[in-house]
Amino acid sequence: MKLVIIDYGSGNLRSVENAFKKSISDNNLKFSIEVTKNLKLLMESDFIVLPGVGSFPDCKEGLKKIKGLIEVLNDKVINRGCPFLGICVGMQLLVDYSYEKGKTSGLSWLEGSIEKINNIGLDYLGRKFKIPHMGWNNLQIIKKTHPIFKNIIENEHFYFVHSYYLNTLQIDQIMAETFYGHKIPAIIAKDNYVGVQFHPEKSGLVGQKFITNWLKWKP
């Protein structure tokens, strides 16, 4: 099986690559990994990962700069059903629009918009929620039967770094959420694609469990 991690000038690629290599090695999975922007390799892939660090507009511009990349992604994931994982801004890019630094269109694979976190209220120590949301936070699992949650229990902690979140009325696409001043979708999924707001590659053992579950997933 061929796994492609897309290199489009955004994302902590080596850390993502190393986390996937560890899951593959620890579980004796039969995968090769390519970190690339080569469209031919992307077309030949069996699994696709889109990382993302920075702002939504910059990441979208990075995709657009690689001629044909968005078209190949749409064909592979939407038309051909290739399993796909978007991480952090890579997840945010799946929706209709972002309102970070103005209005920027996304890939429109999922309904919703990316908006600034409302740091309303106080945390359990009486402190105002700081932006960005940075650090460990627990998950409330909504769709417990989804294969990506195998061996992951309620309230496990994952590592987040973000100032914007997915606002959507399509609650059926929310697999898990976290709380930071208000509810924030942490995992979204539809058909053969999954997006996570947290960083599984920075989330220790539970992050490795998640990566392994995704690699074993057969949508």
What are 168's two structure tokens? 């959507």
Question: Which pairing describes strands 84-87 and 193-196: parallel, antiparallel, or unpaired?
Answer: parallel
**Helix, strand, coil percentages, rounded to 5, for the chain:** 30, 30, 40
Catalytic residue among 17, 82, 88, 100: 88
Catalytic residue among 100, 162, 177, 199: 199
Burial of 128: CB neighbours in 10 Å, binned 0-12, 13-18, 19+: exposed
Whole-angstrom distance, CA of residue 37 vs CA of residue 18: 18
Please list the residues that pair with 161 across neighbouring strands.
Answer: 134
Burial of 218: CB neighbours in 10 Å, binned 0-12, 13-18, 19+: exposed
Q: Are 77 and 111 in contact (CB under 8 A)?
A: no
Any catalytic annotation for residue 201? yes
Please list the residues that pair with 140 across neighbouring strands.
Answer: 177
What are 170's two structure tokens? 């399509």
Q: Is the peptide bond before 132 cis (omega within 30 degrees of 0)?
A: yes
Any catalytic annotation for residue 199? yes
Give the up-direction half-sphere exposure of residue 137: CA atoms within 13 A in the CB hemisphere: 27
Q: Are 32 and 85 in contact (CB under 8 A)?
A: no
Q: Which residues are catalytic?
A: 88, 199, 201
